[in-house]
Structure 1
């Protein structure tokens, strides 16, 4: 009895001492808020002060978050700065709903904050949001979903080089593993968190959770030492949520050691701090724990009283009043009517679901048809574009070849004029030479020589012009096809093919090219070899019908 009285006196003294300790952070933030000259400066300070009060002065925190929200809404800016503050406020509302034990409302606020942070690319905020959402699913017992968000948040925080967020996320993941009795994985997460961020806060959080592992292994002394140290540390930081949890855990440890009076005193301390922050879920667990301790102690009257309080908190969280209302309806013979209505509603819901399913299938099929049509349209469009490009290239080649032929004609004209001038000059020189001769015999010989020379020049010019006339008769498309698809052929080989295209025989081609029949056959053989044709295949037909050579 004396030990219990001493413990209570010590606890009251600690509370009084703690109450007298000045809140230097809160004082500093209030001073900065009063000195702020604009809402853009005042807003983040109010958010920071609200976060500071979340686990100690919950009502004050809510007032500050609401005030910051009104300022943000009044600003009506879409700048990233205000959106970032808006996400922080939504995150704060989520924290307050955690204390109320409303998981659905908590998740709603956290998801809204996540959406904004994704929109503005706030990597640090994204790490925090993913960790918070993971915590919601962990508390609901959905550990697979929780760890998905933890891993995502951890990767984002590491990429942003925000070690504190990364370590906090690892600790949260460790708690999830511990709740699944995966102690080795949990311990790995806690130790890794301490290596990533060796600051005091991370160390304390990790050690507090390591104490839970010690408790699970029956190492009660080690667990108690860590919990007591954590109480002092988090009390100084005014984190009453963690203080309350640590007191509860100490009470559970003492219960296992059968020190029931001390265990009840510790749970009373936990209840005191849970009431300060208004955490209904935590109060539900603490009254349930105190009921169990009193039962094990043998004080069944107090155990029953604590159990009733536990039920009130459980009912407020789980909305048991709804179940009671249905029971009352059944007793008053109104249950059948309500049951009928409920059945109709269920049938309507089932019909709606069937209709939604049909609509979904129709939409899916329509989407697939649209996708297929779009793909077919795009393929046709690409084919038309490719054909258009190929046609344009062909037209360009035709134009280039026509231009080249025109240039060749001009060169021939120039060459012809040049040759004529040269022949004329030679003739004039020869005539002068004939005139200068005095011997009649010599003059006659010179005249014959001049006549033969002029006849030879005339024959050569005639052959040249006939050769050019033959090439002009070949279609322009055939010339373009040779230049486009058969670049491996030499100019003299293409020249031979043009003459073959005109239907000339080998002797005719040899005379026209002023070469031997054997030379023409040799050139034709080389062409067949390059095109991979045998002696029975028609070269001209192959060239005209083959576009992929």
Structure 2
């Protein structure tokens, strides 16, 4: 009992040791329920997955879709999100409406990142058609706005970009689309550009989005400075911007832009005033910007030259040199981090291999213990069964010996019982057991009986000790020519062993007794009985002796 408990405890321990943490499929399904509400949690859950490549195909595509969605939501590079292509095909054909329109945006973003802009525009057109078929004007407008952005930043085709933004505005009026359209028209010197940019500011303020309104005003003013060349309008817009915000990161750019306007108008004092004011706002932010540093240095040099006829860019050049040195140091640090990350990845790979190897060893040890335990149990059970069988044989032999040792009553004719007893006595004499246990049975005699009863059945059997050629005449004399009639009636239909079994059954030997005398197992005796019944055409449970005697 204690051994079984030990084996059970070892199995539980090994199973616990081999158990993994949270299953990748469980993590994926949890992440799949959060993509509409909590992208950060989705990213964390996806990072916890160890072997997503082993997921079933459908779940692997779902994993790729979620990874692409997280990168798109975070405005990260999507060049590695190649799974979005088969995932797009899967979700567009499976009828998953919740992901269908978003899948168009993700595929377009991936194609944009890979530089396949013609295919990107085709996907956006398909998404717009699909959205309109569902009467989803909001999503259709988003697809058109994405097309406009592609035309602006990739093709520099402001005419087609303006057309895309106009179509988007017909579906839904937004401040962002008005602003983008205004910028496109401004780059084309169109008079309606100012109206659209002003409209974007009005809509942003109506929505209470001051941050966007300030951004629109700043970009519109810069367009007036560098494209439309209307410095007074730019100054007016910048003054309006100053009234809407007190954020240093906005005011520094606004003041520097106003300084540039006054410089180009020849009003050097005002230019210096706003330049100093912009520099103060810039230093208040607490961080360095290469663009801001160069713009401030450049404008100061131009003002100095305009006012004094000379300028000094030494400090600006030193700053640029320091930026170059800092970039070189940063690149060196990044390369070192990459090497460290590669080393850590390799070490982690070795750890994974070692863990898998340890898991295999543990599983092998568990299998070995199970085999040892099973073999031990089998051998113990087999030995116990053989001991029980040996004891039963000893009891059977003792009973047979007791029966044949009882003195027969004097009579001129032998009864049937006496015939059986005589036949049994002859069999035991042939086996030599009468001689072995003659007189009082001693411990030695009992041991000899045990040795006989445990003889291996297949090879050294007790059946070989019986001389059936001598026993057949005795059977015929005692049982009315039983064997002779059996042979005459059925000829060679029955084998020798089957004939011998019939003779023993006629002598009223039990199955257990026949097993002991012939050295055959009990199942073998039953199998021979079944074979005899089939050969003789008997019922499965018919009595063989009665059938043969009839």
Which has the higher relative contact order, 1 or 2, with Cα contacts under 8 A spaced 6 or more apart?
Answer: 1
Report the TM-score when normalising by structure 2: 0.45
Report the TM-score when normalising by structure 1: 0.45
